[in-house]
Structure 1
Amino acid sequence: MGVKVSVVVPVSEPGPDDDAFDACVRSLLEQSMPSDEYEVIFADDRSGDGTRERLDAVAAVRPNVRVLHLEHAGSPARGRNVGLAVAQGEYVYLLGQRDRLARVALEVMYRSAVETDADVLIGRLVSGDNPPPRAFTRNRERADILRDRLLGLPTAHKLFRRAFLDARDIRFPDIEPDLSEQAFVVKAYLTAKVIAVLADHICCHLGPSPEGPVDPAAHASGIRAVLDVIDAHSDPGDQRDRMYAHWFRTGVLRLLGGRPWLSARPDQRAALFASLRELTRERFPEELDRHLPVHLRARAVLVRSGEPGRLVALSEAFRGTSVRAELRDVRWEDGSLTMDLAVEIVDAHGAPLTFRAEGDRLFWTPPISDLVLPAALADVTDAVSRARMEVYIRHIDTGLIFFIPVSGEVCRSQDADRVRVWAVGRARLDVGTAAFGRPLRSGEWEVHVRMHSGAQQARTRVAGQHGAQLSCVGVLAGEPRKLVIPCWSEQRELSVCVEPRSFSESIVLVSPGASVTHREGHVFVVLPVPYVPPSGGPPAELVLRQIASRGRVIAIPALVEPGVPGRFPGQLVAKVPVRRLPGEGHIGPGLWAPRLRIDGKEVDLRFVLEMGRAGRARVQAGGEPGMLSTRRSLLGRLATHLPGGRHAVRLAHKLQQRYLPTPPPDHGS
C-alpha cells in the first residue's frame, strides 16, 4: 500500500529546550494511522543548535521519517516547497514546528478527504483559548470560500491532494512568511474543485506565533502578492471585492490600530503607516469600505486622508471596550443546564454603546468628537439587525471549544435620538450532545459569551453577580450517565465539571460558596455538596491549618446532609470550636487555610477562614484579595525579626497566592 499522507514540517533552530517542538515531533510519531501509511518530512533550514542531529537520530529508528538538510534560507517557504517536491503521499499536510497534531488527526482527515473527494480538507484547529472560527460550526462536504468564511482560515494547516497542487503549480512564494502561506492557500481555495471542512474532530493545536516588528515594505509587498493571486484566479465583481475587503481588513486596518502599532516607536509607526497608506491608495478603493465593519470604515477614512495622529486617538478610544454579561439564572431543566443571560457591549467606563437614530435608520457615532463619517459609511441599520449573542464552552485542559444553542432576542430602547442595543437569551447545555452530537469529555468546561452588536464584538467569561445565590446542584446527565456540576471560580465565573474524579473534588469545585454561621460559642462552617450519593457519602473531616509561625492544625468531624436531587445541593457542616486565646482543640484569631480529609486523603479548599478577635468568623473566597497582603504588611516586618518569622512570611505569601488570587482588572469601572 502506498503512502496516504505526507506531513511536511519546516524547521529552523527550535533550540534544545523548546517544549513545543518536542511536542510537535511526538505528535507526529504517535499517530493512530499505521506508520507505513504516512511519512514525516522535516525540512531543516541548517539549524545549528543540535536540531539536525536530533532529527537524524529520530529518522535512524523511524523508517517513515525523513530529514532534508537544506542551505540556510531564513524562511519556511523553501523548506515547504522542497518537502512538497519530494513528498510521496496521496495527500500532504503542512505543519509548523511548534504545532502539534491530535493523535487521530491524519487518520480522520484522510478518511474524510477520500469520502468527500476533496482537493483541500480543513481539519479543525485550536488556537489557545480563542473561540473557533465560524467555519467549524459543522462538517461541510462542499464548503464555499465566502459563505463558509474560509478566508478566516488562511494558514497552511490543511490536507492538500498532492496531484492537485502539482497540476495547478501551487507553491509557496518567497515573500513575508505569513503572507506566503496566505498566497498559497488562496490559490488553492480559488482553483480547487472541492473544499471540505472536518469540524467534529480536533486535528491540530496551533503553537504560539512568533511576534516581532512588521517590516513595512515586506508586508506591503506580500499583500500585493496575495491580491495578484486573487486577480489571476477570479473575475471582477462582488466575490473579488469581498476577498479584497478581507485583506484590507486583516492586512492593513487591523495593523493600524493594534497594540503592537500603538506601542511602536514613532519612526516605526510612521514608516508602517506610510507604506500601508500607499498600498491602500493603490489597491483598495473606497468602494470596498461597504464590506467592512463600521469601526474599520472609520480607520479607512483616516488612512486615506493621511492622519496617523487621529488614527492613534481612535484606537486609544476603543481600548477597554468589553462585553457585560449578566447571568440572571442557572438551573437544570430536563437534564440540560439552562442559563438565562443578558449581554451588552460597553465602553471602558462601563457605559453602554449606543447608536444615533434618524427615522428608521441607525448610525454609528465615532468615539472621537472631531471625526465625522459620511452617512453611507456610518449607517449600521442592517448590521444591528444581525446583532446576536453566542455562548460557548471551553475545556480548561485541552482548549477544545463547542458552541451551545441559544434562543433569545435582540432588544432596543430609545432615549431621545440615542438607541441602546443588547441581547437576552437562554442557553442550554446538554452534556450528552454538546460535542457535535456526542457527549462532552470529562473535565472542567468554562462558559463564555460573545456579543456582536452590529458595530463591534467582544467576549467574556460568564459570571454571577456578587451577592446573588448561585446554584451548584449536580445531576446525573447524558448517556452513559455522568455526574455534572455547575461550579464557580473565586471570581464567581461559571464552569461546568463533567464527571469529577472523586467525591472530594466535587466539593472542592464549589467550595468558594462556603459560608459560616455562629451559634452557642461555636462556628459552623458550611460547604455546599453538589451531589450526595444514596449512601450518604463517606466520613469527612474539615482540617484547618493556621497561617502563622506555629502553623497549628485542628481536625473537625463533618456531617454530610443530603439535598433535593436536581433542585438543591446538599451540605457539609463542621462544628468548629472557637476561643479568643490560642490553645489546643480550638481555633483562635487569625487566618486558617482549610482542607477536606476523606478516606485519609486531604485536598485544598478554595477559600480562607478569617477569625476575628471577637470570635466572629468569615469566609474569604477571592473577593477580597487585598486582605491578606494588608495584614502581612502590618505584621510582616515584626515577624521577620522573630524566630521562624521569615518562614511564616513566606508561607503566608504562598498561601495568599494559592487561595486569594488577584482578580483581573474590571474594565467596567
Structure 2
Amino acid sequence: MGVKVSVVVPVSEPGPDDDAFDACVRSLLEQTMPSDEYEVIFADDRSGDGTRERLDAVAAVRPNVRVLHLEHTGTPARGRNVGLAVARGEYVYLLGQRDRLERVALEMMYRAAVEADADILIGRLVRGDNPPQRAFSRNRERADLLRDRLLALPTAQKLFRRAFLEAREIRFPDIEPELSEQAFVVEAYLTAKVIAILADQICCHLGPPSERPPDPAAYAAGLRAILDIVDAHSDPGDQRERLYAHWFRAGVLRLLGGRHLLSARSDQRAAIFGELRALTAERFPEELDRHLPVHLRARAVLVRSGELGRLVALSDASRGISVRAELREVRWDEDALIMDLAVELLGPDGSPITFRADGDRLYWTPPLAGFDLPAPLADVTDAVARARMEVYIRDQDHGMIFFIPVHGEVCRAQEGGRVRVWAVGRARLDVGTAALGRPLRSGEWEVHVRMHGGAQQARTRVAGRRGAQLSCVGVLAGRPRRLVIPCWSEQRELSVCVEPRSFAESIVLVSPGASVTHREGNVFLVLPVPYVPPSGGPPAELVLRQLAGRGRVITVPALVEPGVPGRFPGQLVAKVPVRRLPGEGHLGNGLWTPHLRVDGREASLRFALEMTRGRARIQAAGEPGTLAVRRSPLGKLLSHLPGGKYALRLAQALQRRYLPSPPPD
C-alpha cells in the first residue's frame, strides 16, 4: 500500500529544551494511522543546537521518518518546498515545528479528504483560548472561500492533494515568512476544485504566533505578491474586491492600530506607516472601505491622509472595549441547560457604547476629539441591524469549542440624540447534541459570550452577579445518561461539568456557593450538592486546616441531605465547635482552609473560612481585602514572631490562589 499522507515540518534551531518541539515530534510518532501509511519529513535549516543529531536518531529507528539537511536560509519556505518535492504521499500536511497534532488527526483528515474528493482539507485548528472561527461551525464537503470565511484560516496547516499542488505548480514564494504562507494558501484556495472542512475533530494545536516585528519594506513587498496572485486567479468584480478588502483589513489596518501600533518604537511606527501608506495609495482604493467595519474605516481615512499621530491617538483612545454579560437565570428544561443573558458592549470608560441618531439612521462617533468621519463612512445602521450575541462553550483541557443555539433579540433605547444597543437571549445547551450533533466529551466546559454590536465586538466569560444565588442543580442527561452540573469558578464564572470524576469532585466544583450559620456555640458549614444519588452518597468528612498559628487540623463528619432532582440541589452539612480561645477540636480565630474527605481521599474546596472574634465567614475570590495578610496588623506582627514568616508565605500563597491578579496597566 502506498503512502497516504506526507507530513512536512521545516525545522530551525528549536533548541534542546524546547518542549513545544518535543511535543510536535511525539505527536507525529504517535499517530493512529499505521506507520507504513504515512511519512514524516523534517527539513532542517542547518540547525546547530543538536537538533540535527536528535532527528537523525529518530529517523534511524523509524522507517517512516526522513531528515533533510539543508543549507541555512533562515526561512521555512525552502524547507517546505524541498519537503513537497520529495514527498511521496497522496496528500501532504504542512506542520510548524511548534505545532502539535492530535493522535487521530492524520487518519481522520485523510478519510474525510478521500470521501469529499478534496484538493484541500482543513482540519480543525485551535490556538490557546482564542475565540472560535466560524469556518469550523460544522463539517463541509464543499466549502466556499467567502461564505465560510476561509480567508480567516491563512496558515499552511492543511491537508493538500499532492497531485493538485504539482499540477498547479504551487510553491512557497521567497517573501516575508508569514506572508509566504498566505501566498501559498490563497493560490491553493483560488485554484482548488474542492475544499472540505473537518470541524468536529481537533486536528492541530497551533504554536504561538511570531512576535517578531516585520521588516517594513519586505512586508509591503509580500502583500504586493499576494495581491498579484489574487489578480492572476480572479476576475474583476465583487469577489476580487472582497479579497482585496480582506488583505487591506488584515494586512494593513491590523498593523496600523491597537497593540501592534502602540507597542512599536516611534521609528518602527514611522517606517511601517510609510510603507503601508504607499501600498494603500497604490493598491487599496477608497471603494474598498464599504467592506470594512466602521472603526477600520476611521483608520483607513487617517492612513490615506498621512496622519500617523492621530492614528496612534485613535488606537490609544480605543483601548479597553469590553462586554458586560448579565446572567439572569440558569435552569434545566429536561436535559437542556437554559441560560438567560443580557449582553452589552462597553467603551474604554466602562459606559455603554452608543450611536448618534439622525432620523432612522445611526452613526458611530470616533473616540477621538476633533475627528469626525464623513456621514457615509460613519453610518452603521445596517451593521447595528445585524448586531447579535453568540454563546459558545470551550473544553478546559482540550480547547475544543462549539457554538450553542441562542434565541433572542437586539434591543434599542434612545436617550436624547444617542441610541443604546444591547442583546437579550436564551442560550440552550444540550450536552447530547452540542458537539455538532454528537454528545460532549466528559470534562469541564467554560461558557463564553461574544457580542457583535455594530461597530466593534468583544467577548467574555459568562459570570453570575455578585450576591446572587448561583444555581448548581445537576441532572442526568443525554444518552447514555451522564451527570451534568453547572458550576462556578472562584471568580463566579460559569462552566458546565459533564460527568464529574467522583462524588467529591461534583461538590468541589460548586463549593464557591458555600454558606455558614452559627447556632449554640457551633458553626454549621453548608455546601451545595448538585446531585445526591439514590444511595445517599458515600460517607464524607470535612477537614479544616489552620493556615497560621499551630497549624491545627479539625476533622468532623458531614451529613448529606438530598434535594429535589432537577429543581433544588442537596446539601452537605458539617457541624464544627467554636471557641475564641485556642484549643484542640474546635475553630478558633484565624484563617482555615477547608477540604472534603471521601473514601480516604481529600479534595480542596474553592473558598477559605475566616474566624474573627468567634464569628465565621466565607471568603471567596475577589472580595475586597480578602486574605490581605501583609497589609494587616496581624501580618506585621507575624513577621516578627518565630515561624511568622513561614505563616506569611503560606497566607500569600493562598492569596495568590484565591484572588485574581490585578489588571495590567
TM-score normalised by structure 1 residue count: 0.98
Is 1:285 matched with 2:285?
yes
User: Which residue does 1:16 correspond to in 2?
Assistant: 16
User: Which residue does 2:338 correspond to in 1?
Assistant: 338
User: Which residue does 2:594 correspond to in 1?
Assistant: 594
Distance in 1 (CA, whole Å) between partners of 2:8 and 2:549 is: 58
Is 1:503 matched with 2:496?
no
User: Which residue does 1:262 correspond to in 2?
Assistant: 262
3-state SS of 1:629 partner: coil
- Superposed displacement of residue 664, structure 1: 5.7
- Superposed displacement of residue 603, structure 1: 1.0
- Superposed displacement of residue 627, structure 1: 2.7
User: Which residue does 1:116 correspond to in 2?
Assistant: 116
User: Which residue does 2:232 correspond to in 1?
Assistant: 232
**Aligned residue runs from structure 1 range 102-501, under 5 A:** 102-501=102-501
Distance in 2 (CA, whole Å) between partners of 1:410 and 1:181 is: 39
Paired residue type of 1:310? R
- Superposed displacement of residue 648, structure 1: 1.6
CA offset digits 1:63-98 (Å, max 9, x no partner): 000000000000000000000000000110000000
Are 1:491 and 1:663, in contact at CA under 8 Å, matched by a contact in 2?
A: no
- Superposed displacement of residue 358, structure 1: 1.5
Are 2:629 and 2:648, in contact at CA under 8 Å, matched by a contact in 1?
A: no
Distance in 1 (CA, whole Å) between partners of 2:272 and 2:509 is: 49
Distance in 1 (CA, whole Å) between partners of 2:642 and 2:452 is: 59
3-state SS of 1:390 partner: strand
User: Which residue does 1:661 correspond to in 2?
Assistant: 659
Distance in 1 (CA, whole Å) between partners of 2:356 and 2:235 is: 38
Are 1:625 and 1:662, in contact at CA under 8 Å, matched by a contact in 2?
A: no
- Paired-residue identity, %: 82
Are 1:123 and 1:202, in contact at CA under 8 Å, matched by a contact in 2?
A: yes
- Superposed displacement of residue 62, structure 1: 0.5
Distance in 1 (CA, whole Å) between partners of 2:220 and 2:379 is: 30
- Superposed displacement of residue 131, structure 1: 2.1
User: Which residue does 1:645 correspond to in 2?
Assistant: 644
Paired residue type of 1:173? P
Paired residue type of 1:269? R
Q: Answer with 306-315 or 644-653: which moved more.
A: 644-653
Residues 215/344 of structure 1: CA separation in 2 closer, same or farther (3 Å cut): same
Are 2:610 and 2:619, in contact at CA under 8 Å, matched by a contact in 1?
A: yes
3-state SS of 1:628 partner: coil
Distance in 2 (CA, whole Å) between partners of 1:598 and 1:135 is: 45
- Superposed displacement of residue 633, structure 1: 4.6
Q: How many residues align?
A: 665
Distance in 1 (CA, whole Å) between partners of 2:125 and 2:31 is: 17
Distance in 1 (CA, whole Å) between partners of 2:470 and 2:662 is: 21
User: Which residue does 1:526 correspond to in 2?
Assistant: 526
3-state SS of 2:627 partner: helix
- Superposed displacement of residue 655, structure 1: 2.1
Paired residue type of 2:654? L
CA offset digits 1:25-52 (Å, max 9, x no partner): 1111111111111100000000011100
User: Which residue does 1:52 correspond to in 2?
Assistant: 52
User: Which residue does 1:616 correspond to in 2?
Assistant: 615
Paired residue type of 1:305? S
User: Which residue does 1:89 correspond to in 2?
Assistant: 89
Paired residue type of 2:94? L
- Superposed displacement of residue 666, structure 1: 10
- Superposed displacement of residue 127, structure 1: 1.1
Distance in 2 (CA, whole Å) between partners of 1:619 and 1:503 is: 22
Paired residue type of 2:597? R
* Structure 2 unaligned spans of 5+: none
Distance in 2 (CA, whole Å) between partners of 1:642 and 1:324 is: 46
Note the aligned Cα RMSD (angstroms). 1.3
Distance in 1 (CA, whole Å) between partners of 2:297 and 2:498 is: 44
Distance in 2 (CA, whole Å) between partners of 1:428 and 1:465 is: 20
- Superposed displacement of residue 134, structure 1: 0.7
3-state SS of 2:532 partner: coil
Distance in 2 (CA, whole Å) between partners of 1:361 and 1:623 is: 42
3-state SS of 1:325 partner: strand
Are 2:28 and 2:40, in contact at CA under 8 Å, matched by a contact in 1?
A: yes
Distance in 1 (CA, whole Å) between partners of 2:664 and 2:16 is: 40
- Superposed displacement of residue 357, structure 1: 1.5
Are 2:126 and 2:205, in contact at CA under 8 Å, matched by a contact in 1?
A: yes
3-state SS of 2:77 partner: helix
CA offset digits 1:346-395 (Å, max 9, x no partner): 11222111111122211111111211111111111111111111000001
User: Which residue does 1:565 correspond to in 2?
Assistant: 565
3-state SS of 2:85 partner: helix
3-state SS of 2:26 partner: helix
- Superposed displacement of residue 642, structure 1: 2.5
Distance in 2 (CA, whole Å) between partners of 1:634 and 1:23 is: 49
CA offset digits 1:559-583 (Å, max 9, x no partner): 1111000000001111111011001
Q: Answer with 448-457 or 123-132: which moved more.
A: 123-132
- Superposed displacement of residue 631, structure 1: 5.4
Paired residue type of 1:642? L
Residues 582/631 of structure 1: CA separation in 2 closer, same or farther (3 Å cut): farther
- Superposed displacement of residue 545, structure 1: 0.8
Paired residue type of 2:660? T
- Superposed displacement of residue 538, structure 1: 1.3
Distance in 2 (CA, whole Å) between partners of 1:541 and 1:200 is: 42
Distance in 2 (CA, whole Å) between partners of 1:292 and 1:560 is: 58
Are 1:632 and 1:649, in contact at CA under 8 Å, matched by a contact in 2?
A: no
Distance in 2 (CA, whole Å) between partners of 1:348 and 1:630 is: 32
- Superposed displacement of residue 630, structure 1: 4.0
Are 1:125 and 1:132, in contact at CA under 8 Å, matched by a contact in 2?
A: no
- Superposed displacement of residue 218, structure 1: 1.1
* Structure 1 unaligned spans of 5+: none
Are 1:541 and 1:557, in contact at CA under 8 Å, matched by a contact in 2?
A: yes
Paired residue type of 1:398? H
User: Which residue does 1:99 correspond to in 2?
Assistant: 99
Distance in 2 (CA, whole Å) between partners of 1:284 and 1:655 is: 55
Are 2:119 and 2:195, in contact at CA under 8 Å, matched by a contact in 1?
A: yes
Q: Answer with 625-634 or 502-511: which moved more.
A: 625-634
3-state SS of 1:441 partner: coil
CA offset digits 1:279-307 (Å, max 9, x no partner): 11111110100000000000000000011
3-state SS of 1:55 partner: helix
Distance in 1 (CA, whole Å) between partners of 2:391 and 2:210 is: 30
Q: Answer with 430-439 or 75-84: which moved more.
A: 430-439
Are 2:561 and 2:571, in contact at CA under 8 Å, matched by a contact in 1?
A: yes
3-state SS of 1:185 partner: helix
Paired residue type of 1:662? P
3-state SS of 2:652 partner: helix
Are 2:464 and 2:494, in contact at CA under 8 Å, matched by a contact in 1?
A: yes
- Superposed displacement of residue 600, structure 1: 1.5
Distance in 2 (CA, whole Å) between partners of 1:634 and 1:238 is: 70
Paired residue type of 2:28? L
Residues 235/140 of structure 1: CA separation in 2 closer, same or farther (3 Å cut): same
CA offset digits 1:125-184 (Å, max 9, x no partner): 111101221111111111111111110010011111111101111000000111000000
Distance in 1 (CA, whole Å) between partners of 2:118 and 2:630 is: 65
Are 2:216 and 2:271, in contact at CA under 8 Å, matched by a contact in 1?
A: yes
Is 1:7 matched with 2:7?
yes
Distance in 2 (CA, whole Å) between partners of 1:195 and 1:656 is: 51
